[in-house]
């Protein structure tokens, strides 16, 4: 469903900041703190703001998929006035793979691009 909400950029530029008090699972908060430190951000709030931005962006679009008898998957992403159409040959979960083959460096060397 499209709710007509515009994507938000929180805490950057001229935005007004609001102080809130909330309760969050400790494990989630700890993960946010670790990630913020890894990314050189000021703290867990930066990660929480990014998560909220992603949430508000994602509710603006609908994703539809149709599996064909040929094995192909057709995918539509409807977002406002734009439509992304994809043909996917296959989708599978890789098991028993070597984690070293899927590091960012290894993937980049093989021509993959993070999107």
Map out the domains of the chain as residue ranges.
1-59, 62-115
Task: Tell which residue, 38, 40, 36, 46, has the closest CA to residue 12.
Answer: 46
Q: Please report the pLDDT score of residue 7 as a whole number.
A: 42
CA atoms of 114 and 108, how far apart (whole Å): 8
* CB-based burial label for 2 (10 Å; 0-12, 13-18, 19+): exposed
**pTM for the full predicted model:** 0.53
Q: Please report the pLDDT score of residue 12 as a whole number.
A: 58
Q: Residues of the chain whose pLDDT is less than 70?
A: 1-14
Question: ∠ at Cα 53 (112, 85), nearest 5°?
Answer: 50
Q: Please report the pLDDT score of residue 102 as a whole number.
A: 92
Q: Please report the pLDDT score of residue 104 as a whole number.
A: 92
At residue 99, what are phi and psi to the nearest 5 degrees? -55, -30
CA atoms of 115 and 105, how far apart (whole Å): 15
CA atoms of 5 and 79, how far apart (whole Å): 11
Q: Please report the pLDDT score of residue 13 as a whole number.
A: 61
Question: ∠ at Cα 45 (47, 61), nearest 5°?
Answer: 50
Q: Please report the pLDDT score of residue 50 as a whole number.
A: 93
């Amino acid at each position: 469903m499209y709710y007509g909400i515009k994507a938000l950029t929180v805490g950057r530029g001229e935005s007004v900041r609001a102080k809130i008090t909330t309760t969050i699972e400790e494990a989630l908060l700890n993960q946010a703190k670790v990630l913020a430190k890894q990314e050189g951000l000021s703290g867990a709030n930066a990660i929480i703001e990014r998560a909220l931005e992603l949430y508000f962006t994602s509710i603006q679009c609908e994703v539809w998929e149709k599996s064909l008898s040929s094995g192909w998957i057709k995918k539509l992403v409807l977002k406002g006035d734009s439509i992304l159409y994809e043909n996917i040959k296959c989708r599978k979960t890789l098991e028993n793979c070597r984690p070293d083959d899927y590091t960012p460096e290894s993937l980049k060397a093989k021509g993959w691009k993070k999107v």
